[in-house]
Structure 1
Amino acid sequence: MKLFVCQECRQIVFFENTFCGQCSRRLGFCSESVNMLALDPGGDDPAAPASGPAAGDWLPVAGREGGPPRFFCANAGHNVCNWLLPEGSSGTGSPDNSSPENSSTGTFCIACRHNHVIPDLAKEGNQERWAKLEQAKHRLFYSLLRLKLPLKTRAEDPQGGLVFNFPDDPPDGDPSQKVMTGHDEGVITIALREADDVEREKMRVEMGEHYRTLLGHFRHEVGHYYWNVLVRDAGNAEACRAVFGDDTQDYGAALQTHYENGPPAGWQDSYVSAYATTHAWEDFAETWAHYLHIVDTLETAVSYGIAVDPSVVRDDSLTLHFEFDPYEAGSFDQIIQAWLPLTLAVNSLNRSMGQPDLYPFIITPAIANKLHFIHRLVHHLPLS
């Protein structure tokens, strides 16, 4: 994630900010430019303060000499979104998060128009949980926009468009009826309990995972969606099988085998996680998630001008200044060469604070080859 700046006062601002801490200008994220915009109240209420509510129209301060007004996503009214509608949208219509067919009303931003089922906001604590889910989802969409990946709603593609459901578990507490996080032909379900830090940590320990995060869930599940779009539907299945294995194997049987027997011995040599050993689909989705982890974290390092130059190393094998755009990198070699020194540094920083490693994974040559495939796939490069 890159750093942003307020166009009014040049103060650094961050992706989730809604106001500038220096000049109090309203901030909105523009999906077209993938940038944060400082805003002045528009013509609907010229007397409104710059730090006022998200309702009404707004004008970017960088274009005071003219330009169309901008409107906030309807979900800004729930304090779960700070994105602007695409330029030219009027912001009119009846916002309705309950149906993907309503994504064409012009009231939702590029990210929120993919929502289908949101939490019951009448239930205590659900608004806060939804806000956590949306924060992770919007960070996912930042990466998808930076990579210029196709994004179709259910209204645009009724059979396979991308849809998000955030349901709660049934109130009766029956374990067999718990909501399962997963993907099904474009429908991504993230169980609401995943937004509860205690519950998520409990599941992480029970399932023996290195870590379990909301953003990781979104990145993994959208990997299944893009397997459909970029592999299956784009005619790249054979090339993908040559790297990730046979996806035609029975998925249900593979899942049962994994939960009964665990990962095979020596899995760390070829798979980025134990869950990736389950099936070729899960290997692809786990590797896809790690690709997004890597490029986005590297972009953060670049934004801060981070350099790694350990004084105790005799050669320059771990010396690196992060000065390239990982989202635009032509070769994955450049990305992976930067990733090793950065992870050594940040893992050591975490240990100094008594925290687990930020990135507790090892990228072997076999795993790097799979990441190379993902890089070529998202950048439309030859796959072999």
Structure 2
Amino acid sequence: MKLFQCTNCKNTVVFENNKCVNCSYLLGYSSYYNKIVSLDVNAAKWQLPELEGKTYTYCKNHKYNVCNWLVDVERGNEFCLACSLNRTIPDILDDDNLKKWQHIEIAKHRLVYQLLRFRLPIVSKTIDDLKGFCFDFLAKDDLPEESKNLKTGHANGVITLLISEADPVVREQVKQQMSERYRTLLGHFRHEVGHYFWDLLIRDNPDVLAEFRTIFGDDSQSYADALNNYYNNGPQANWQQRFISKYASSHPWEDWAETWSHYLHLTDVLETAYNFGLKTDPKITAKKNLKMNASFDSYKEISFKKVLNTGMPLLFALNSMSRSMGEDDPYPFIISKPVEKKLEFIHRLLKSV
């Protein structure tokens, strides 16, 4: 993630801030210019020289404390790009639902930021039902009896997220039940949107699909049977040698979505390191190189080798720092040679968009 500053006092602010703690100016984010700007607290609309003098107001969801994005008044939209993707939100008159929705929107806005950095098409399904995508954020208690077994997932451009995932206690319980090493809201979003972009970028492109099948496997095998086999019999033997996670071994579509989400993890971490000017010079000589210099914008870097050779030492350092705080590894994964090849495929595909 990029580092941001209040344009009034130059105080460092973060992506989600809607107010500068130093000068008390309001803050708004422009997705088009990728800037956070300071705003007069006494106004509801602002003509902003930092944004070419155009007039902006807050996204309609700002009043629920879930969005700090700005909308161009001339375009006549009530919702920002990120919030326009919502098809269903929970009953926010329920305070618990509102709190969960706030956590969900933080993760979703970070996802949309990243998709914009990749210059990927972002179209709401409410505008283009065939090629667009949207989000349904659902509370299981509010579902009809026949839908009680609904799970977080993707189908034909609709990404469903059960809002219970926003409860860290529930999420940890599911993580333990599923024997997972990583489970976050942002991870869910990155994984599920990966399914959507598989449909958009690979499914109907014969040459890309052929290469995908060479690297990830034959996706034409029964998806339902593959998942039943996974849940009944567990992951493939020695899955660590070929897949980024256990679940990735269930079917090529899940392998793609899991690997896609990890590529997004890697790119985001590298952008953050780049904005902080991070580099390491370890005090030992290691068998595997631990030196790294995040001196490049990960979204513009052409060389996958440079991305990987910088990212791996960075993630190792990140894990080590986390352990120093008594926390688990934030990135508890090993990237094998076959997984490297899959990540490189995604890297090349995104550079061709």
Equivalent residues, number: 352
Task: Name the counterpart of 1:57.
Answer: 45
Contact 2:218 2:252 in 1 (8 A): yes
Contact 1:30 1:86 in 2 (8 A): no
Name which of structure 1's ranges 210-219 and 148-157 shifts more when overlaid on structure 2: 148-157
Name which of structure 1's ranges 216-225 and 148-157 shifts more when overlaid on structure 2: 148-157
Task: Name the counterpart of 1:253.
Answer: 225
Q: CA deviation at 1:39?
A: 2.2
Partner of residue 135 from structure 1, selected from 101, 106, 110? 106
Q: CA deviation at 1:176?
A: 7.8
Q: CA deviation at 1:240?
A: 1.1
Structure 1, unaligned runs of 5 or more: 42-47, 50-55, 91-105
Contact 2:48 2:54 in 1 (8 A): no
Contact 2:69 2:80 in 1 (8 A): yes
Change (3 A) 1:301 1:87: farther
Structure 2, unaligned runs of 5 or more: none
Task: Name the counterpart of 2:189.
Answer: 218
Alignment of 1:226-375 (within 5 A): 226-235=197-206, 236-313=208-285, 317-375=289-347
**2: CA distance, partners of 1:377 / 1:29:** 29
Contact 2:71 2:80 in 1 (8 A): yes
Change (3 A) 1:231 1:89: same
**1: CA distance, partners of 2:72 / 2:342:** 35
**1: CA distance, partners of 2:22 / 2:280:** 31
The normalised TM-score by structure 2 is 0.95
> Quick check: 1:67 aligned with 2:71?
no
Contact 1:38 1:61 in 2 (8 A): no
Q: CA deviation at 1:232?
A: 1.0
**1: CA distance, partners of 2:315 / 2:191:** 20
Contact 1:38 1:60 in 2 (8 A): no
Q: Secondary structure at the match of 1:258?
A: helix
Task: Name the counterpart of 2:22.
Answer: 22
Q: Deviations over 1:167-224 (max 9, x none)?
A: 0013699798143000001000011100011111000000000011000000000000
Task: Name the counterpart of 1:96.
Answer: none
The normalised TM-score by structure 1 is 0.87
> Quick check: 1:111 aligned with 2:82?
yes
**2: CA distance, partners of 1:360 / 1:380:** 30
Q: Secondary structure at the match of 1:125?
A: helix
Q: CA RMSD in A?
A: 2.0
Q: Deviations over 1:105-149 (max 9, x none)?
A: x11101010100101112231111000000000000010000000
Task: Name the counterpart of 1:196.
Answer: 167
Indicate the percent of aligned positions where both proteins have the same amino acid: 44
Q: Deviations over 1:258-303 (max 9, x none)?
A: 0001011111011000000111100000000000000001111111
Extract structure 1 runs of 4+ deviating beyond 3 A. 171-176
Query: Which AA in structure 2 matches 1:192?
Result: I
Query: Which AA in structure 2 matches 1:292?
Result: L
**1: CA distance, partners of 2:196 / 2:335:** 24
Q: CA deviation at 1:67?
A: 1.6
Task: Name the counterpart of 2:40.
Answer: 40
Task: Name the counterpart of 2:132.
Answer: 161
Task: Name the counterpart of 2:93.
Answer: 122
Q: CA deviation at 1:86?
A: 4.1
**2: CA distance, partners of 1:157 / 1:245:** 31
Task: Name the counterpart of 1:101.
Answer: none
Contact 2:54 2:72 in 1 (8 A): no
Q: CA deviation at 1:317?
A: 2.7
**1: CA distance, partners of 2:322 / 2:302:** 31
Task: Name the counterpart of 1:4.
Answer: 4
Query: Which AA in structure 2 matches 1:214?
Result: L
**2: CA distance, partners of 1:314 / 1:71:** 53
Task: Name the counterpart of 2:151.
Answer: 180
Q: Secondary structure at the match of 2:308?
A: helix
Relative to total residues, which structure has the larger helix share, 1 or 2?
Answer: 2
**1: CA distance, partners of 2:182 / 2:55:** 43
Task: Name the counterpart of 2:70.
Answer: 84
